[in-house]
Structure 1
Amino acid sequence: MGELDAGLDDYGRVIELEPKQFEGWYNRGSAHIAARQYDDAISDLSEAIRLRPNVGYAYCNRGLSYLRKAERVKALADFEKGLSLWADMPLCYYGRGEIRLADGKYQEAIDDFTRGINSKPTAESLAQRATAYESIGEKKKALKDYRSALSLQPRLKTAAAGIARLTQNNQD
């Protein structure tokens, strides 16, 4: 509902009542991510992981927080750990793909984005995979992904720009 502050307050009360419960820490950490409060998210998710170290999605969320803080080594370690615990987590694939894309490891990025998209497609992941395809000269695959991204999110600027860039010299 967009009531992040109220949600954070409620999770804080849950943690006060039951500080040894994973769910309170995990949920408040996830709410901190939504509020773009990444240091607080990392703190809460680290406590959730301490309480239940075998829950892969907690590592994925903490990895996302590290990634948004540009702490790529820590982010990658968390994505890898999350995937080692549970191999079907789109968020970990998307995060790792984002790192690989930035590192110029385009085929590895495509592989990660594809694994995530096969489970839970998002406009952003399709646009990022399209960027990787474009980087290796796979124009048709890039256009298809940019168009799919726009079908999910019609105002996604990166997808619209990609289509414009790839079709400026000829009409596809």
Structure 2
Amino acid sequence: MLSCSPSEQELFDEGVKLMESSQYQQSVSYFDRVIQKNPENTSAFNAKGVALFQQGKYDEAIASFSESIEKDNTSYKPFFNRGNAYLEKKMYKESLLDYNMANGLDPQQIDVHYNRGLALLGLEEYEDAIFDFDIVIRANPNQTLAHFNRAKAQLGNNDPVGAIESLVKTVNLDNRNGAAYYLLGVTQMSAFGQKEDGCANLKLALNLGFAEAKSWIEDFCQE
């Protein structure tokens, strides 16, 4: 319970509790009260941005993260968070700039490498994307989505052999990933003419709810 005249820290902590229980709009009101008490509280601007991001209010989140950065540009967190908001808006160049800043401030943050890889993938900078996904995989060999997105980058980089290897790792780690089975099947058929294996994987993809596999099966896998 908050006291009659809650302190800046009490308001902030209550906002965080509300955010952790997915009460994002309510948490914003607490972060706003913190900011009213102390307009220089960079953590409150960053936390408010996270709560807005969780509601899909990406432009408002970007504005809040930018306020945090303007007041203190020594933390990687608001740069990373603003990069995530830009990524959701498919503003890949802007997100890449923020991820580069976040990485420069704290090179040990693996999430920065993964999300920067996604931005680079969006920019069709495939070799650099592979570099970032490799860092993630070295840190966590079981990061399924890093293998999957590495495969996409490898295909963009004209390396179907490497892509198949990454996709096989993906489905071995997650046998419910319909998109990975689809991409594996399409690559097996289009790059190597492996109709039997390709069709088997496309059918698995369709069974897992990946509807795009249907047209390939109808066109190439009918007896």
When normalised by structure 1's length, the TM-score is 0.81
Counterpart contact for 1:41–1:62, Cα < 8 Å:
yes
* Alignment pair present for 1:83 and 2:83: no
Q: What is the distance in 1 between the residues matched to 2:126 and 2:70?
A: 34
Matched, 1:38 2:58: yes
Q: 2:14 aligns to what?
A: none
The CA deviation at 1:117 is 4.1
Which is further off, 97-106 or 30-39?
A: 97-106
CA distance in 1, matches of 2:53, 2:147: 22
Q: 2:80 aligns with which of 38, 56, 60?
A: 60
Q: What percentage of residue pairs aligned between the two structures are identical?
A: 22
**Which segment drifts farther, 30-39 or 122-131?**
122-131
- CA distance in structure 2 between the partners assigned to 1:115 and 1:10 by the alignment: 38
Higher relative contact order (CA 8 A, sep 6+): 1
Alignment length, in residue pairs?
A: 168
Question: Match for 2:165: what amino acid?
Answer: K
* CA distance in structure 1 between the aligned counterparts of 2:172 and 2:38, rounded to whole angstroms: 47
Q: CA RMSD in A?
A: 2.5
Secondary structure of the residue aligned to 2:196 is: coil
2-side partners of 1:13 and 1:125: how far apart?
Answer: 39
Change (3 A) 1:9 1:116: farther
> Which residue identity is paired with 2:122?
A
Distance 1:114 1:57, change over 3 A: farther
Aligned to 2:6: none
* CA-CA distance at 1:123 after TM superposition: 4.3
Pairing partner for 1:158 from 175, 179, 192: 179
Q: How does 1:15-164 map to 2 (within 5 A)?
A: 15-119=35-139, 122-135=143-156, 136-137=159-160, 138=162, 139-148=164-173, 150=174, 154=176, 156-164=177-185
1:162 offset after TM fit, Å? 2.8
Q: Do the aligned residues in 2 keep the contact of 1:133 with 1:142 (CA within 8 Å)?
A: no
Tell me which residue corresponds to 2:196: 169
Secondary structure of the 1:100 match is helix
In structure 2, list runs of 5 or more residues that go unmatched: 1-20, 189-194, 202-223
Larger Rg: 2
Distance (Å, rounded) in 1 between the aligned partners of 2:178 and 2:22 = 23
TM-score (norm 2): 0.65
